[in-house]
Amino acid sequence: MEFSSSRNRQRQTRLAGDRRELYPHSLQFYLEPPTENISLVEFESFAIDRLKLLKVVENLGVSYVRGSESYKTKLESELRKLKFPYKALAEDDYEARRKDHISHFILRLAYCQSEDLRRWFLQQEMDLLRYRFNELTESLRQKFLEHVNLSFEAISEDLKNELSNELHASTPGLTVAKVKEQMFYKVGLVDAVDLFRTRRVFIKDGFAYVPLKEIDAIVLNNYRTKLSKALALTARSLPCVQSDERLQPLLSRLSHSYVGPDYSVQKNTGKVSLEQIDTLSVKSFPLCMRQLHKALRDNHHLRHGGRMQYGLFLKGIGLTLEQALEFWKKEFIRGKVDADKFDKGYAYSIRHNYGKEGKRTDYTPYSCMKIIMSNPPSQGDYHGCPFRHSDPELLKQKLQSYKIPPSGITQILELVKGMHYQLACQKYFELTHDVDDIGFSLNHPNQYFAESQRLLSGGRELKKELSNSGNSQQKSNTQESMNSNSTPTSSNTTADAELEGLEAYFTED
């Protein structure tokens, strides 16, 4: 894949001609990387759309039974919305097929970078393939199998009749009558290892006799092997790709990417008073921020990772610069830092956070992906995502202390075990707000806060409970409220890229 300069972005996003012959099927194993020229605009938009799609796949996989009608309906509607192939049978979906192909390879580049990323990507891509494969008609399924060199031999009617008792006894869920109706395939054991291990197929002379309805397990197994290997290979060639200065920042942002609103301070400035923060931390902060707030109150100090994460979150919920300075100073001088040291060592970095120093960038709060995927906490740190970075036993104790019911804790720990950290957080939201369905897909701590406030105030904007303490800017309570359903912006590119520079200002621990 090659990339054009973005100079003619608006006029020219599509560079290659029509290459319909590349996509004989709307479903593929993504064996060949795209070779056409592609503009950086298309590169980014394809990648973001696929990321959105995979997030939906993850969410649906936890909220619904895979393959159920609701699962299929919701996934199809998302595929349509994002303009990916939504029905394997659809004719003339060249553009969608092309987007599907290219976007898969872009995310492969972004998600090969660590074990965690690889595992997440693999899981979502497998679920997507499973859904699409099962949507194929029998004849298309056969064509696809041949296309990916998985053309298994269907056994003859005579052989099936001869083996019908064994097939019935060894294949759970099939009556003798159903055995008669089903097509069975003779498959080598290597390809049928999952079915063989779980005793779901009849084995004879080194072959598994697999009913058509189980063929998807084999296809998925095969795909998993291929994609795992491809991800490992891609990771090895990454240094070469990363040396391209146009791609490197894009790829690293994608793996931490957040594609929703940026929760920048302009929208919310002056919406909270300092006196509200203790109460809000219990009622409306996600666990990561609740943990940071408590650590700050307990220790009168936070190390730099915590100050960055929590400071920008507070900025996002509406703390003005003056409030932030007052908030941090009051707390720090209760500990080992005196007022003078605070002014010299910490105030600059807070002003920097608000774009008043250095490059004057108006920094935006961290998304969940950024918190989960980068800068893991060390001993003595309180930043990070508790669902990702806490020991499960400690997490359990913390949830118990927050009066989460035992059944809820079990559900959360199960999600954590499956590495669905944001879904675990959604469950925590549901349990702490007493709702059955969170009704949104959580991607950002400030989104959590905004949704919580909306719920608690019955759909109204954040209410002021107390007087305006030391803050002249709090009059602006007519400002637009944070709205997680607003049109997603492109990722917080400039801010994210420059955050690295900002961290240098936080020299004090």
| 120-126 contacts at long range (C-beta below 8 A, 24 or more positions apart) | 120/58, 120/419, 121/54, 121/231, 122/224, 122/227, 122/228, 122/231, 123/58, 124/54, 124/57, 124/58, 124/61, 125/54, 125/223, 125/227, 126/220, 126/223, 126/224, 126/227
Told to check if 431 binds ligand SF4 by CB under 6 A, we report: no
By CB under 6 A, name the one of 86, 421, 505, 506 that touches ligand SF4.
421
Contacts with ligand SF4, 262-301, as mask; x by CB under 6 A: ------------------------xxx-------------
**Annotated binding residue at 368?**
yes
For residue 379, give both structure tokens: 């001993």
Task: Name the minimum Å distance from CB 442 to ligand SF4.
Answer: 6
Confirm or reject binding of residue 413 to ligand SF4 (CB under 6 A).
Answer: no
Does residue number 395 form part of the binding site for ligand SF4 (CB under 6 A)?
Answer: no
Distance in angstroms (rounded) separating the CA atoms of residues 14 and 111: 25
Residue 473, both tokens: 């800017």
Q: Counting contacts by CB under 6 A, is residue 117 touching ligand SF4?
A: no
Sequence letter at residue 153: E
482 binds ligand SF4 (CB under 6 A): no
SS3 4: strand
**Does 288 count as an annotated binding residue?**
yes
240 is in an annotated binding site: no
CB 254 within 8 A of CB 47: yes
Of residues 104 and 383, the one with the C-beta less far from ligand SF4: 383
CB of 275 to ligand SF4, least distance (A): 24
Is position 305 an interface residue for ligand SF4 (rule: CB under 6 A)? no
In angstroms, rounded to a whole number, what is the distance separating the alpha carbons of residues 149 and 161? 28
CB of 382 to ligand SF4, least distance (A): 12
- Note whether 445 binds ligand SF4 by CB under 6 A: yes
412 is a site residue for ligand SF4 (CB under 6 A)? no
* 502 touches ligand SF4 (CB under 6 A): no
Among 54, 328, 386, 415, binds ligand SF4 (CB under 6 A): 386
- 145 in Cβ contact with 203 (< 8 Å): no
**Of these, 323, 422, 471, 492, which contacts ligand SF4 (CB under 6 A)?**
422
Is residue 460 a contact partner of residue 438, using CB atoms and an 8 Å limit? no
Using rule CB under 6 A, residue 368 touches ligand SF4: yes
Nearest to 48 by CA among 271, 189, 306, 254: 254
3-state SS, one letter per residue, for 202-244: EEECCEEEEEHHHHHHHHHHHHHHHHHHHHHHHHHHHHHHHCC
Q: Which residues bind ligand SF4 (CB under 6 A)?
A: 286-288, 368, 371-372, 385-387, 421-422, 425, 445, 448
Residue set of the binding site: 288, 368, 385, 425
Q: What residues are designated binding site for [4Fe-4S] cluster? A: 288, 368, 385, 425
